[in-house]
Every structure is written in C-alpha cells, then in structure tokens.
Chains A and B, each alone.
Chain A
Amino acid sequence: MRPILLSGHERSLNQIKFNRDGDLIFSVAKDKIVCAWWSANGERLGTYNGHQGAIWTVDVSPNTQILATGSADNTVRLWNVKTGECIKVWDFPTAVKRVEFTPDGSRLLAVTEKRMGFLGTIAVLDINYGENLTEQAEEPSLRITCTESKATVAGWSYMGKYIIAGHEDGSVSQYDGKTGEQLENVQAHEFDHQINDIQFSPDRTYFITASKDKSAKLMSTRNLAILKTYVADTPLNSATITPKKDYVILGGGQAAMDVTTTSARQGKFEARFYHKVFEDEIGRVRGHFGPLNTVHIHPAGTAYASGGEDGYVRVHHFDKPYFDFMYEVEREQLRK
C-alpha cells in the first residue's frame, strides 16, 4: 500500500477524524489551523482559520454539517464544514482537550483542562441544526466536574446514554449522559499513567483506551469490564478499532521530549496492528519520523490515517493482504 502524505501542518498533529461517510478527513495540530482533506486522493478541501492557540481536538457531526474544535486558546468553536466559516465560539476558563458529538449529533461534550485554580470539567453543549447554524445555546446544558483526577479524554456511549471518560490517573469512569452522575469508576490502567485516547467501536458498545502505561484495553461501555488487553513496548498515544476486520491499531512512541535522543529505529514510531480477539500483534506499519499522536480508521474499515509528532498525516488505504489475513480457526469456521 502506498500511503498518501499530507503536509498541511507545520507542527505536530493532535487529532485526526474521518467523517461518517469516510470521504473527508479533518486534522488538527499545534499550529492554529484545521485542515479538511479528501480521503481518496489527499486533496485539501480547505482550512478553518480563527483559533489563536494550539488545537487539541476535532470532531465532525454525523451529517458532516458542523465541525467542532477545542483549543488551547480556551475556546470551543463550531465551523460550517462546507464553507469554512466559524459559526460559534464558546469561551471556557481553561484549554479544551477533547470534543465529541453524540451519535445523533444533537449534543457535544467538551473536556476542559485543570489549570489556574479551575478543576477539570466535562461540559455538554446542545447543538442546533436549523436554518441558521449560528444560533446556538450560550450555556452548557450539563457540567460534570472531575474532583478527584482530571479527565483527559471522553466520549459518548451508544445513543448518548453514558459519557465515558479517561482520567489522568489511569482510571476510566462512566457518567450518566443526562444527569452527569458518576455511575462507575474503574482503575483500568496502572495508577498515574494517563489515558491518552478513547475510541469507540462502530456500535459504541465497547471502546479501546490507549495509555502511557504501554498498554491498550478493550472495555465494555455498559459496565466498564476489561475485555482485552494489548501490550506494547512503548507509551501509547492513540488506539482505534477497525471495522470489517477484527483488528485494533495502536499508535505511540517515545515521548516527544525524548525523541531527539533516540534514533528513528529505536523510537518505535510505528502503527501497531493487533488482532482484536487473540490479542496478538500481527504487524506494523512504519513511516513516521516521530511518535504517532493519533490514529483513526475509515468508518468502512478500508483505510486509516495516522498523525505524528513530525507534522505529517499519512493516509493508508489497505490492500489485499490486510483483508485476506485470517487465523487458522477463522478459516475453519468459514469452511463450515
């Protein structure tokens, strides 16, 4: 497979998202612009300009009408995907580390940083898709304050029923999506090893976490049971579950501050593929010159994109061997 290299950013990537149809890719980096790309050929559709600081997170509504971004300039912005205009700015007291739409797109959560005397919070904003997209609610409809350990990442469960959050201390908690009440809290990863990413399966009944403790875990959304554990040899920044084939892709590498002291070979700057069920590592894809900060899979499972500390987005369209690979037991099952 020949990766497409997208070099629209000048600094390290923070998050990449495919839209639900998989024809567009949105990428954000520490430079202040958001890029939209066609996933098929890597052509840049446009950029969304307006943020004043590093952009930590991006998400696109399920109907690809609205794009949400969270930035170090303490704002969440909504953009018109088609025209590139900023349609709404919400100010927060601290930086916004993660935004995510509910599966139906009606609500948006924003995870804010704990800093300057403010506790980390998860705010829920109602999104209005009317004639005029600029008419949005001013105040969040729900605010969850994380008193114990700040939330670093969060996402919505199936039907927006729960909010699942990963914390700085390595725990994963489950909140009620309507009331914000904490229902469950599990120390999924080693204590004090931050959770860097949470990504859901297509039906959102389970999710994968990626942590600094060099492991990724597959967990059930309903009761936060740990279903599978994938052990890597490097801190992980991102993990994604592939549809169509039962794999997971993990991205990580030496922490950015140690990169200059390690060579590209030792740095382990590769995307790692594990079998979702058997927990075996089945291959790696190299190419980045720095740690992988984010990986995201095409919703149809035909391609994936990875963004690294090196400022490049690499879009890989899988070819035949990827789809053909099967364990012996899987083959036998198929024969029956």
Chain B
Amino acid sequence: MSKLGNRADWADDEEFDDPSALPPQQITTNKDGTKTIVSYRFNDEGKKVKVTRRIKTTVVREHVNPQVAERRSWAKFGLEKGNAPGPSFDTTSVGENIAFRPSVNWKVQAAEAEKNGGEKGSMKDQLKDKKVKCRICSGEHFTARCPFKDTMAPVDEPSAGGEGSAEDSPAAGALGAGTSSYVPPHLRKGAAGGGERMAGKYEKDDLATLRVTNVSELAEEGELRDLFERFGRVTRVFLARDRETQRAKGFAFISFADRDDAARACDKMDGFGYRHLILRVEFAKRAT
C-alpha cells in the first residue's frame, strides 16, 4: 500500500519537451578513479550551458583533538548566518603563489632574481639573436623588400588558391583576412600579396592619400590639417613621431575624402614653405 502511495501518478510520467527543463545531471566514474559530472544550467542570458567537471577525490585522514572536531560542526552566525558551508567568494580568495625560501643571504638572491627578471623583460635582448627571414625566398630580409616579391609565391603556399576564396567572399576579404577575427600579417595567407587582393576595397582611399615629406621636426598634426583643409575635406592626418622624443620624424600622410581635392592639394602644396622647410608632397604609394 505504501509502495503504491509513494509512486507518482502515471500521468505525471509523461515526458514533455519543455524547453525550460534541464537534462538531469550525469555522473560517470572514469578508469583512473576520477569522476566526470555533466550538469546543465541557465546562464544570465537565459541560455542553456553545459558544465563538465572532472573531480578527483583524495581522502586525507587527519587526527584532531575532540574539541576541534566538535567545533567543525558549529553553525555559522552573525553576517554569515544561514550561508552554505564552504568558503564564500566575497570574503575568501587565494592569493598568488609566493616563493618563500629562508636564506642567510636572501638579500643578494632577491637582488639577483630581480636583475634576471629585468633582463628578461627587455624585448631588445630577447630578440638579439633573432634573424630576419623572408617568407618568399627565405633570405635575410623583410618579406616586403624581397626582390622576388612579384614573381614568386610564398614558400609554404602552393599556388593561387587563396586568390579565389577572397573573391568569393568580398566581405571577409575586406577585413584583410579569411575570417572575421583579426589575423596578424605574418599569419595571413600570402602576406606579401595581401595588398593587391584587397585593392578593390581600399583603392579609393589609397588614391586620395598624400605623402608629405621634409616636414619640420616641430610640426603639429593640427597645423598640417589646417594647411590641407583648404583644398577639401581631410579624413585623416598622420604625422610620424619618434616614440621617445615625441618629435615629428619628418613625414606625414594626409588622406582626403575626394581624390580631386587631393590632386589639387598635391599640386599646390608641393614646394610650399612650412616652418623653414620646403614640403615635398606626392601621392602615397599603395602599401604592400
């Protein structure tokens, strides 16, 4: 009778495809004694998340005196009243590892460790023995400077396969790589040829950019913008600066919204005297 009473109504057994229901937790025991627990929960956005945890249980036997053992069963009180057992994240965290080795001459060791750490940090020393290697001919020069750039494909790329795919998906090509995520230049397919392929999208922009050389060290971006704004809308002013001194390096790029404006500016501004130097203005060569 009691058995019958415990059993749920048969009508409740029916499984509904309720979207809000979560699959039950699965616990499997692995060969090496660990347990894998697969559970499901909803995250903040209401999406179902599968959580897989692998748990290794180690039993550590510890003998404590009876008083200490009795204290372990104490209930929490005060601000912690009613909280679940186990450290809570808002009061307890684990710090980063500290290597503590007592030693008589610890000061010397600490100073040395710091010195070594400092050397490691400097990029210049790290790359001291690195050699430049061309991706096209494996020579000791930058890929962009390779004499065979136009005639040879990169060593590790068989042929024009990449070319077709770029045309198939113009949107992806526009981003400079096959996928939507950023790919650094050295990882791109046919890095050297990349510029030509993308030309379709960037042609207009490139053609409206002027390269200005023989710019004074004391030049300012604002001043350059004022100088070139007279000929039309300037979309971008780039003044190359020295990283350390923040002084101008002597050249700049000015991008115009319209190519005709750029052409006029090129015409007028070439040979213009600016801060005791005579500017040289020409159309920027397309970046490769």
Q: Which chain A residues have a beta carbon within 8 Å of chain B's beta carbons? A: 1-8, 21, 23-24, 33, 37, 41-49, 63-64, 82-84, 247, 273, 280-287, 314, 316, 318-319, 321-322, 325, 327
By CB atoms of chain A within 10 A, which of B71, B94, B96, B110 has the most?
B71
Q: Is B2 part of the binding interface, using a Cβ–Cβ cutoff of 8 Å?
A: no
Q: Are B77 and A84 in contact (CB under 8 A)?
A: yes
Q: Is B91 an interface residue (CB 8 A)?
A: yes
Tell me which of B67, B85, B92 contacts A42 (CB under 8 A): B92
Residues of B within 8 A of A44 (CB): 76, 79-80, 87-88, 91-92
- Known A-B contacts A2-B94, A5-B93, A5-B95; the reply to A283 vs B100 at CB < 8 A is yes
Q: Are A49 and B95 neighbours in the complex by a CB distance under 8 Å?
A: no
Given contacts A21-B65, A24-B71, contact A46 B106 (CB under 8 A): no
Within 8 A of A (CB), among B37-80: 64-65, 67-68, 71-72, 74, 76-80
B103 to chain A, nearest CB (A): 6
- Checking B74, B85, B98, B107 against A287 with a beta-carbon cut-off of 8 angstroms, the contacting residue is B98
Bound together, the chains give a CA A298 to CA B104 distance in angstroms of 24
A-B contacts counted at CB < 8 A amount to 117
In the complex, are the beta carbons of B78 and A46 less than 8 A apart? yes
Closest Cβ of chain B to A268, distance in Å, is 13
Picked from A3, A282, A286, A322, the residue with its CB within 8 Å of the CB of B106 is A282
B145 close to A (CB within 8 Å): no
Output the least CB separation between A11 and chain B (Å): 15
A286 to B114, CA, bound (A): 14
CB-based contact A47/B100 at 8 Å: no
A46 & B81 in contact (Cβ 8 Å cutoff): yes
In this assembly, does B97 line the interface, its C-beta being within 8 Å of a C-beta of chain A? yes
B101 within 8 Å of A (CB atoms)? yes
Write out the residue numbers on chain B whose beta carbons fall within 8 Å of the beta carbon of A286: 98
Question: What residues on B are CB-neighbors of A273 within 8 Å?
Answer: 102
Return A81 CB to nearest CB of chain B, in Å. 9
Contact in complex: B100, A49 (CB < 8 Å): no
Residues of chain A contacted by B244 (CB below 8 angstroms): none
Subset of 29 A-B contacts with CB under 8 Å: A1-B100, A2-B97, A4-B93, A6-B91, A8-B91, A21-B67, A21-B68, A33-B79, A41-B86, A42-B91, A42-B94, A43-B86, A43-B87, A43-B92, A44-B80, A44-B87, A45-B77, A46-B76, A46-B78, A46-B81, A48-B78, A273-B102, A283-B100, A283-B103, A287-B95, A287-B98, A318-B100, A322-B102, A325-B103
Residue B9 is within 8 A (CB to CB) of chain A in the complex: no
> Out of A4, A23, A83, A247, which one reaches B71, CB within 8 Å?
A23
Q: Name the residue of chain A whose CB is nearest to the CB of B71.
A: A23
Give the size of the chain B interface in residues (CB under 8 angstroms): 34
B90 within 8 Å of A by Cβ? yes
Q: Which of B91, B92, B95, B101 contacts A325 (CB 8 A)?
A: B101
Q: Which A residues are in CB contact (< 8 Å) with B104? A: 280, 282, 327
Which 4 A-B residue pairs are closest in the complex by CB-CB distance? A47-B78, A84-B77, A46-B77, A325-B102
Closest to B85 in A: A43
Q: Which residues of B contact A283 (CB under 8 A)?
A: 100-103, 106
Across the interface, do A285 and B79 meet the contact criterion of CB distance under 8 Å? no
- Tell me how far the C-beta of A220 lies from the nearest C-beta in chain B, rounded to whole angstroms: 26
Contact indicator A7/B67 (Cβ below 8 Å)? no
Q: A46 is contacted by which of B80, B90, B97, B107 (Cβ under 8 Å)?
A: B80
Rounded to whole angstroms, the CA-CA distance of A36 and B158 in the bound complex is 69
In the complex the two chains form, is B90's CB within 8 Å of A7's CB? yes
Minimum Cβ distance to chain B for residue A280 (Å): 6
* Residues on A with beta carbons closer than 8 Å to the beta carbon of B76: 44-46
A6 to B100, CA, bound (A): 20
A107 and B87 CA atoms in complex are apart in Å by: 34
| Nearest Cβ on chain B to A249's Cβ, whole angstroms | 11
Chain A: CB-nearest residue to B88: A44
A322 and B101 alpha carbons, distance in the complex (Å):
6
Q: Are B100 and A322 in contact (CB under 8 A)?
A: yes
**Chain B residues within 8 Å of A314, by CB:** 95
CA distance A219 to B81 in the complex (A): 43
Known: A21-B65, A41-B87, A280-B104. A2 touches B92 (CB 8 A): no
